[in-house]
Chain A
C-alpha cells in the first residue's frame, strides 16, 4: 500500500479518533486518504492552536493528542504548541509534512528544518527518510509519548514517503520502547525520615495528575498527618475542599501553603521539578528542610534542589510503596492542628460585591456555579493566577493550564480540545483580553465543528501581569502594556464568528451569565469588564522569599515562621 494509506491505518490502529490540523501542499496525499477514514479531523485556523487542542485533548483523555501541520510555516507555527506540551509533559504526536527527500536541504519551497527545530522541545523526534522504517517509526512515536514521563513526539514525513510503497510485513513489524527503570533503593531512608518528621508536608506536582495518584496521596497524608500543597500543574489532583489540602503554593500561592512549605521539617515532593515560580529564591528554599523527592524522571532528582532522598518511579507506585513501608505512628499531631487552624484562617470571603467587577468575584461564582465535573482551562497572566488562587477544584473537576512554558493563547484552544475529549462536561476557559486576542480566530473552529465551550473573559484592557510588574517593580512606568480603548469589541468579534456573547459590567449579573454560558449549545463568550486597577495579590516577588510577600487585600496573620 502507499505510505499515505499506511499513515492513516497506523493512526487508526493507535486508536486515534480525532486529530487537529491544517493541510498543505506536501500533506495532500495524506489528506486524500483521510477522506476514507473515520478519524475526525478538526480544521483549525492556526497550527499553534492545533498543538494546544491536541494538548488539551491529551490532558483530559490521557491519550496522545495528534496534531498535524504542513512543511515550512506549518511546522514553525506548530512549534509553540509542541513546546507547551513538552514543558507540561503532555503526551502528543505532532506530525509535520516535509518536502521530498530528493530536494531536502536545497531550500525548496516551504522547506524548514523542522527536525532540528523540534529537537529541543520534544521528548523525541524523527525525520522519516526510509519508507521501510515508516510504520515502526509511527508506532514508536506513540509508545514514546506515553512511556515513562509523558511528552510530545514529532514525526517529520517527507512527501515522497506518502507515495512510496509499504509492505504488509513492514506494517506488521512489532516495536518495543525501553521503559525507564524504577529506583526505590532509598525507600527505607525516605520512610525513616517521614516517620521521624514532626512537621511533614507533601508537595505534589503535575506528575500526580498524570499518574492519578490523588486518592493514594490523601491516604498517605492522613497517615503522616501532613498537609498537602500543590503546584500550579497539580491543581485538581487532590480535592481542594479537604481541610488538609492547602491549595496552590508559590509566587501567587495561598499563604497557608507557602507557610507549610517554609516551616516543614520534612518535605515529600512528588512529581514536581521545583520550578522557580514555586521555590522563589532557590538558595533559600528548604534550607531547614529534608527533602524526599519522588519523580518518574531520574534527571529531575537533584536538578534544582540538592541534598535529598530520591525515589525514581511514577507517583502512584511510589506513594503506595511508602504507604506499605510506614510502620511507626507519626508524631505530627501538633503540626496538623496548627495547619488545620491556619488553613481556616486563610480562607477569606472573596465574593466581592462591588462595581466595577472584581476578578475574584467572577472566579468565586465560577467555583460556585460550575458543575462538579467541569473542566477549567486558563490563559497565562493575571487570569491564570486568579484562577489558580481562587478557583476551587475538587471532585471530578479538572484544571488545565500552561504552567511550564506560560503560553498566552493556550486556554481557548486547549478548552476546545478538552471539550472534544469529554463532550459531556462543561468546559470553561478563564481568559484575559491579551491572551484571547492571540487566538481569537479559533472561534471559527469552535463554531464550525460545534464545540460549545464557554470563555469567561476577564477584560481589563491591559496586558495585566506586565502592567502589575511595571507598577510594582518599574515605578509605574507603563510601556506597551495598555490596549487603546475598548478595542476590539469582543462581543461583536465572537458574534461575527457565529458564537453567542454577552457583556457583563455589574457584579450582580455575573452568576446568571455563568449559568447561562454553562448551558449554551454554542460557543459562549462572557466579556466581564473588570476593574483594571486590581492586581493579583498576594505575591512573592521573583527571586525573593515569603518574608517579602506583597499581601494587598490578603489578611493572612500566620506570618512566615
Chain B
C-alpha cells in the first residue's frame, strides 16, 4: 500500500478536482484523510492507493493542478493507521502501525468499523 500526501488550498471544489484525476486514471483510492493543517487556508489530503506504479503516474498530474501545492509519496516507515470499531459493548479507537491496526481489527471482528491510513 502506498500513502500519498498533498498540501492543498482549503477551498470548495478541491476534492472534486483531485479525485477527478484518480477517476480519469481509473485508480481506486483505498482510504482518504483530509483536514486542516498547520497553515491557515491550507489543508492536507492523505490518500492510500494499492498500486505503486499507478500512484507514481498520477503524481505528476496532481502536481500540475493549481490548488495542489505539494504532492508526494510518504515513506513506508511513516505510515500509520487508525480505526474506529463498534460492537455491542461500545466504540473502540485504535491507532498504531498499519500491521497492528490490521491485525486487531481482524481479530476482534467488530460489527462495524472504519479504518484509514495516515502519515505525517
Contacts and interface: CB of A to CB of B under 8 A. Distances in A.
A293 to B, nearest CB: 13
B60 A299 contact: yes
9 contacts: A119-B13, A119-B16, A119-B17, A119-B20, A124-B66, A144-B66, A298-B63, A299-B61, A299-B64
A243 interface: no
Contacts, number: 25
Contacts of B57: 303
Closest 7 CB pairs of A and B: A299-B60, A124-B66, A299-B61, A298-B60, A120-B20, A299-B64, A119-B17
Interface string B55-82: 0010011011110000000000000000
Contacts of A177: 66
Interface string A174-193: 00010010000000000000
Which secondary structure characterizes the binding site on chain B? helix
Contacts of A180: 64
Contacts of B65: 124
A115 B66 contact: no
Given A127-B12, A299-B63, 16 more contacts: A115-B13, A119-B13, A119-B17, A119-B20, A120-B20, A120-B24, A124-B65, A129-B12, A297-B64, A298-B60, A298-B63, A298-B64, A299-B60, A299-B61, A299-B64, A303-B57
Interface string A101-145: 000000000000001100110001001010000000000000010
Contacts of A116: 16
Nearest to A303: B57
Nearest to A180: B64
Nearest to B56: A302
Interface centre among B20, B60, B61, B63 (most CB of A within 10 A): B60
A120 B25 CA distance: 12
B64 A127 contact: no
Contacts of A119: 13, 16-17, 20
Interface in A151-178: 177
A127 B13 contact: yes
Nearest to B65: A124
Nearest to A120: B20
Contacts of B64: 180, 297-299
Nearest to B64: A299
Most B CB within 10 A of own CB, among A144, A180, A299:
A299
A89 B20 CA distance: 19
Q: Count chain A CB atoms within 10 A of each CB in B13, B24, B64 and give the residue with the most.
A: B64
Contacts of A127: 12-13
Contacts of B24: 120
Contacts of A299: 60-61, 63-64
Nearest to B60: A299
B92 to A, nearest CB: 38
Interface in A283-328: 297-299, 303
A115 B20 CA distance: 13
A119 B12 CA distance: 13
Contacts of B61: 299
A180 B66 CA distance: 11
A459 to B, nearest CB: 38
A177 B60 CA distance: 18
B73 to A, nearest CB: 16
A119 B20 CA distance: 9
Nearest to B24: A120
Interface in B1-56: 12-13, 16-17, 20, 24
Contacts of B63: 298-299
A493 to B, nearest CB: 40
Nearest to B58: A299
A298 B59 CA distance: 10
B72 to A, nearest CB: 14
Contacts of B60: 298-299
A119 B16 CA distance: 9
Contacts of A124: 65-66
A180 B12 CA distance: 24
Nearest to B59: A299
A144 B64 CA distance: 11
B39 to A, nearest CB: 16
Contacts of A298: 60, 63-64
Contacts of A303: 57
B71 to A, nearest CB: 12
Nearest to B20: A120
B8 to A, nearest CB: 13
A303 B61 CA distance: 10
A120 B17 CA distance: 8
A175 B64 CA distance: 18
A129 B13 CA distance: 12
Nearest to A144: B66
Nearest to B57: A303
Contacts of A120: 20, 24
A124 B65 CA distance: 7
A499 to B, nearest CB: 42
B11 to A, nearest CB: 10
A342 B16 CA distance: 52
B52 to A, nearest CB: 15
A120 B12 CA distance: 16
Contacts of A144: 66
Nearest to A181: B63
Nearest to B23: A120
A151 to B, nearest CB: 10
B24 to A, nearest CB: 7
Nearest to B61: A299
A105 to B, nearest CB: 11
Nearest to B67: A124
A303 B66 CA distance: 20
Contacts of B12: 127, 129
A129 B12 CA distance: 10
